[in-house]
Amino acid sequence: MALDIVVKDGVMFLSGRLVGRELLRVRDAGKVLLDHPDQEIVVDLSQTDRVIDIAGIQMLAAFSRSARTRGKRFQLIGLNKIQIDAFKLAGFESLTDANSG
């Protein structure tokens, strides 16, 4: 299933497959959020496929770093256990802190 991206009120809603060939579109949507004056950026992964590849993880980590350098709070929501485990294995466990527990 192709990735669908909706940006609304400082939240990026993703549905479908978050994999390499779709990431340019996610990056472009992320730039819109980074340029918006809101102080918080939320990425909702609740409607994405269960599996996320390393390119998707790295892109979200870079998005998080860019947000922080601009003084914005970045949060991933809606992660499933497989995605949380993938972030941990890739060394980006801090991105899942709000979803652990």
Strand 40-48 and strand 4-8: the pairing is unpaired
The per-residue pLDDT for 28 is: 92
For the four alpha carbons of 42, 46, 48 and 50, in that order, the dihedral sign comes to: positive
pTM: 0.89
- Over residues 11-44, the pLDDT tens digits come to 999 999 888 888 899 999 999 999 988 789 999 9
Q: Is the pLDDT of residue 69 over 60?
A: yes
Mean pLDDT of 69-94: 93
Domain 16-99 of CATH type 3.30.750.24 = yes
The per-residue pLDDT for 80 is: 93
